[in-house]
Amino acid sequence: MSEQIQQIKVTIDDQTIMVDPGTSILSAARQIGGNVVPPAMCFYSSLKGSGGKCRTCLVEVSAGSEKDPRPMPKLVASCSTNVMDGMIVKNKTSDRVIDARKGVVELLLINHPLDCPVCDQAGECSLQDLAFEHGASHSRYEFERREFDQIDIGEYIKLHMTRCILCYRCVYIANQLTDNREHGVLKRGDASEIGTFIENSLDNDFIGNVIDVCPVGALTDKTFRFRSRVWYTKPMDASCSCGKCSGNAVVWMIGDEIARVTARKDKYGEVKEFICNDCRFNKKELSDWKIEGPRQIDRHSVISANHYEKAAPIHTPLLNKA
């Protein structure tokens, strides 16, 4: 009979939880849920090696462990720092964390263009949400910004390198999910960019998933490009019979037409079942899919606006007061 794993205690923003040894601070926070969860632009739980790039998930460790309660002198990346028994972590309750996160957002926005009004990622962009919460009203950056030409890196994928924050997610997923990775991070320092060697195109069966894992609008679906704002579509859970993938997806409809197809994401924007290019780009007829019902969207998201009817208000004296 195997021995039961001894769980350890960690406290995040005054909320205590028991987790398995080897759990990261970010994963522990996600088990608690709510506002204690730090934002993450580069970490992806199913991609090995992800995390530690964007620094948006920095937290303050006010007590390292029960045996050694000394605080860690610097803020740590919660996605790559494991919990210790008795550790106390501050996220929203730390002024140092809030100030540092504002600085990180300012750094990410230094070269990011003001493309939100025309970007296909608007309405479901992690950087847009982060900038709304922590961004400044104006930029202090007075130097020339990086600019790149928009290029086609595949039959169905458009690359806007100017929007890229170098999270490396698309590189990791191409390396771990597909047979051949044909793109990567070229050059170094502030000249780094996502690109392909001698303009090779990304054309393997699962490469369309780089669009889903991209937290910004750097990689976009050319079949949906400029067709509609995402909050004007109706997301529906759907499934189909496919020999390459699970066939479980979300179809985004405009009227009775399927405008685009994406993989299903959890509440942290991560895909658990990746879909193939055939399901994503080629199956755009209703007859190709079995519609299961409306996709459950976070009520705080702009995508959920006007999609579902609200219950009638309960009778109160105030509503009926003369």
Domain ranges of the chain: 8-105, 112-139+160-220, 230-304
Separation of alpha carbons 43 and 64, rounded Å = 23
Query: What pLDDT, on the 0 to 100 scale, is given for residue 147?
Result: 87
Q: How do beta strands 87-90 and 8-12 pair?
A: parallel
What would the pLDDT profile of 4-34 be if each residue is shown by its tens digit?
778 999 999 999 999 999 999 999 999 999 9
Distance separating alpha carbons of residues 247 and 258, to the nearest angstrom: 16
Euclidean distance between the first and the last CA atom of the chain, given in angstroms as a whole number:
72
- The class of domain 8-105 in CATH terms is alpha beta
Q: What is the DSSP letter of 186?
A: E
When pLDDT is averaged across residues 206-231 and rounded to a whole number, the result is: 93
Rounded distance between C-alpha atoms, residue 288 and residue 61, angstroms: 51
Pull the structure tokens for residue 123: 């309405």
- Per residue in 149-191, pLDDT (tens digit) is 888 888 899 999 999 999 999 999 999 988 778 888 888 888 8
pLDDT in tens, 100-137: 999 999 999 998 988 888 999 998 999 999 999 998 88
Using CA atoms, how far apart are residues 101 and 107, in angstroms rounded to an integer? 10
pTM of the model: 0.86
Q: Which fold has domain 112-139+160-220?
A: Alpha-Beta Plaits (3.30.70)
Closest-CA residue to 194 (of 223, 228, 233, 158): 158
Residues in the chain: 322
C-alpha closest to that of 275 among 240, 252, 246: 246
d(CA 296, CA 33): 17
